[in-house]
Amino acid sequence: MINKDEIAADFNQAFAELDKAIKLFTDKDFNVIPFADSWTAGQVAEHILLSNDGFGEVLNDKVEDATRAVDHLKIQLKEILLNFENKMKSPEFILPALKDYDKQVQLTKSSKIKNAMLKSINDLDLSKMCVSFPLPGLGFLTRLEAIYFVIYHTERHAHQLNEIYRFIRKS
């Protein structure tokens, strides 16, 4: 049984963590490269917004009946995305541009994406398989799994923002 209230609560918590992490930064620090081969906080925020917006589209795109348990990949997604020792490379299509980002604009975008996805959580059949985008290495996700991908990916990058903030504060 899919508990949409629980899913929405998990989703809201992840976005609250992201917003809190973004708000830690001054406007100036938001675009500081903290160390070699790192993104700025603004770039991290842009990456997660590009990804989350893309998954919002996937949720509302073509679906089919699932041929497996609707939460089959949920634990695996959590293990992959919340293993902070595991460094990953972003796919090209959600790489943030190397430029300065406006913190308030990013927060506004985050709020719009959050509200649109919460509507999808409430309105859509989460047991359906999203067939417009196979996740690299895992294949197609159910809507439920796609939502949890967004939750765990958002938590991962909120953690990354907190680490960048700690590093900048020490410098």
Model confidence pLDDT, tens digit, residues 29-58: 999 999 888 999 999 999 999 999 999 999
pLDDT at 101 exceeding the cut of 80 = yes
Q: What is the mean pLDDT of residues 24-33?
A: 95
- Read off the CATH number of the domain in which 103 is found: 1.20.120.450
Model confidence pLDDT, tens digit, residues 86-100: 888 887 889 999 999
List all residues 6 or more positions away from 118 whose beta carbon is below 8 Å from its beta carbon: 8, 11, 12
Confidence at residue 93, expressed as pLDDT on a 0 to 100 scale = 85
Q: What is the mean pLDDT of residues 117-144?
A: 96
Chain mean pLDDT for the chain? 95
Q: Do 122 and 5 contact (CB within 8 A), yes or no?
A: no
Residue range of the domain that includes 46:
4-170
Which one is predicted more confidently, 86 or 112? 112
Residue 81, both tokens: 């995305």
Number of domains in the chain: 1
Phi-psi region of 137 (alpha: psi -120 to 50; beta: other; left: phi over 0): left
pLDDT at 171 exceeding the cut of 90 = no
Give the largest Cα separation in the chain, rounded.
52
